[in-house]
Copies of this chain bind each other. A is one copy, B any other.
Amino acid sequence: MDEVLKAVLKRIKPTQAERRQLERVANEIVARVNLACAKLGVPARGVLVGSAARNTWLRTERDIDIFILFPPETSREALEQKGLAVGWEVAGKRGRERFAEHPYVTMEFKGFEVDLVPCYDIADPSKIKSAVDRSPHHQRYIGKHLTPALADEALLLKKFMDGIDVYGAELRVQGFSGYLCELLVLRYRTFEGVVEAASRWPPGEAIDLAKSYHDVGEIKALFSGQPLIIIDPVDPNRNAAAAVSMQNFATFVRACQDFIRKPNTRFFFPAQARVLGPQEVKRALRQRGTALFCLTFDSPNVVEDILYPQLRKTEQALVMRLVREGFEVLRSDVWANSKAAILVELSSEKLPKVQRRLGPPITVEAGDFIEKHLASRKRFSGPFVDQVGRLVFEVERRHVNVRQVLEAALEERAAFGKHVAESLAEDYKIYGGKQIVKLCADKKFSKFLSEYLTRCLPWHR
């Protein structure tokens, strides 16, 4: 394992020259921010945060995060307006406006992606006004505790997360943030220590690095239902792993188990998933023998952190509706670019016309249930009592085809995300079976569909 890790570190750790270049650029921007503040009469100052500030950036990463710290008494309006003004002053024509919790300016500068994010400079992290205000505190905490040796371990862990496809707390990914990786290294001291521990994590594992709580039971009650709970040492009310989905949690645990069994650089540098050609897609669909449907529509014009939760909510609503109507859903997934797509795969696209309706438990009078169904013209048989004692009617099923159910659900759009529902109200298309191959004209969709059909943990590719 040591050799593997050494080889990996060599490839991912920035050289002295690269480090100095980044520092130079970062310092230059901070200076420009401070200059702009002075020039515009804004009582704020620039500060470098994120991995660039902590020596935990990967060579391939080209991000510099500069926060513009405002005094807490600034109004939210003033912060947004003045924050943007400072950003534009620094970026000039290079700038582009983006939106997270506040609007902010981003630019490309000397080969780096630079974010200029306004936030409040609040001393007590439990009193912050928005999530971004927490970053300077994280910066301070990590800066204080993460020695250079530990930073290398964090670098390995980040690259590991990246390689196994669970890196990033954004809602598209629902994975592990860089900060979370750093906290794990602070807790277990080495990459190997993290991997050893995580290989034995059950869902609901709780870690309280700064001992903010008396006991683990208290934590588990507070954050129940979350797959991983890492108490933020800077704010004990917050789970630093709140973004981590069950899927990514389990993927990480499995990766750790597999890595211990067979350490290998491919966990860090996995092979790319192969993109299937149209004929291969067609063959794969035929071989699976399932009923695959793809709903497509225009992506609503919102940021990914808003779009992806809505796509997943819509996906879940469709899946639940299909299941309620008696269909067996094997898998589903979402994808977005300028177009959005929701994929649902079923074991069969048709159900029998006959559907079973079960009466109340035997201790409950079933008069109403019986009268209602006896009066129905859709009765095939019943009432009768089945082998395990349940009262049964067999009635005519309303929707026999997947497409009918999807169209009915898309008419109602219940429990869809707001913006997604609006876009679906405008227009949509449902592609079924090999019709889906047409969509592969879009290279990015083609890649997504190939990955779906040949899905495999990256290190097993």
Contact = CB atoms under 8 A, between A and B. Distances in A.
Contact of A456 (B247, B363, B367, B381): B381
Contact of A330 (B291, B347, B356, B383): B356
A289 interface: yes
A441 interface: no
A370 B354 CA distance: 40
A217 B390 CA distance: 25
Contacts of A365: 257, 261
A7 interface: no
Contacts of A457: 383-385
B348 A287 contact: no
A304 B331 CA distance: 48
Contacts of A258: 367, 370
B347 A385 contact: no
A387 interface: yes
A247 B387 contact: yes
A271 interface: no
B202 A362 contact: yes
Interface stretch (A72-80, A248-256, A422-430): A248-256
Nearest to A199: B365
A287 B389 contact: no
A206 interface: no
A456 B389 contact: no
A124 interface: no
Contacts of A127: none
24 contacts: A200-B363, A202-B363, A227-B389, A246-B388, A246-B389, A247-B386, A247-B389, A250-B385, A251-B385, A254-B385, A257-B365, A261-B365, A261-B367, A287-B353, A288-B352, A289-B351, A289-B352, A289-B354, A290-B353, A331-B386, A348-B351, A348-B352, A381-B454, A382-B456
